[in-house]
Chain A
Amino acid sequence: MGFESFNLQLRGGPATATEAAGVISRIAGVSRDECAIKMPGSHYYLLRDVRHAIEIEMREKPVSISLRFTLCHPSSVDNQLLDLARTLMRSLGMSAIICDDVAPEHAGDYSLERFDDLAGAVRHTIGIRRGEWRATFGDEELGATTAEAHRHFILPQCQPAIAKVG
């Protein structure tokens, strides 16, 4: 989606889609995400605990993994995202790219060897985006999926748009 979430993408490496799906499925707390906007060729998972919900999309061709959480999350989700990213990068030999409004020095691919740099760039970018979210939607924290964040925070402030779109 975009304005309500932070997105990190993992890509590259030798793993097949079947291998990637297997690694994701074996992570504790991961289940199928039944609420994602489903696209052919992609598989959707949700890593959820009592405070966090990280949405995972695994695309088959080429194999890539998108990790996303909504900006209404408590900041503890930052470490959970980074732990998950490191696990997957290590297991699947992937690199990471921040799919967000990144500063020029934070753009580009990060290999596992540069994980500390990635973590710094991720924290910096999330901090900016989280501040933007809170200035608009308030300080309430919720471990919500994208659909839940829409229902709880965004749609109550919206009206149906009368416009030609597309």
Chain B
Amino acid sequence: MYPTDEAGRQQLADALTAAGLKPTQDKHRFDRDKIEAMADAMSNGFFDWRSAGLQPVILGPNDEVLGGHHRIIAAHLAGIDLGSLPGPRPQVQRLARCFRPVYQWIDVLPDVQ
């Protein structure tokens, strides 16, 4: 599900950038296997949304992604909008401050295999 070539990786980076989301963690912190496992679980309906709601995606004031980078990428790959999921707890919360450096998606997305 994660892109298998450089063109696909660029396309994914472009899509996430076009969505206005800005990553704030560097490439060392991204794990392609984790993204693929999450996307698979989301697509097949066995993602643990209850626990995820206790540790929601955190955005900064200008859509900087402070927490939940893997979930955001996985949701994009699975075609799921985290901001509109039903449930007792929001899956996305916003913090008034961004205290992390902002990167470009193409610079931080995991390499293709």
In this complex, what residue of B is CB-closest to A146? B55
Count of A-B residue pairs with CB < 8 Å: 126
For residue A41, which residues in chain B have a CB less than 8 angstroms away from its CB?
37
A12 to B95, CA, bound (A): 37
Contact residue among B41, B55, B74 (Cβ-Cβ distance under 8 Å from A1):
B55
Chain A: minimal CB distance from B33 (Å): 7
Min C-beta distance of B85 to chain A, whole Å: 9
Question: Residues 100-133 of chain A: 1 if any B CB is under 8 Å from the residue's CB, otherwise 0?
Answer: 1110000100000000000000000000000010
Q: A: which residues have CB within 8 A of B?
A: 1-4, 7, 35-42, 59, 97-102, 107, 132, 135-136, 146-147, 150-151, 154-155, 157-166
Label chain B's interface by main secondary structure: mixed
Q: Which residues of B contact A (CB under 8 A)?
A: 19-21, 24-26, 28-29, 31, 33-34, 37-38, 40-41, 46, 48, 51-52, 54-59, 63, 66-69, 71-72, 74-76, 78-84, 90-97, 99-101
Contact B48 A3 (CB under 8 A): no
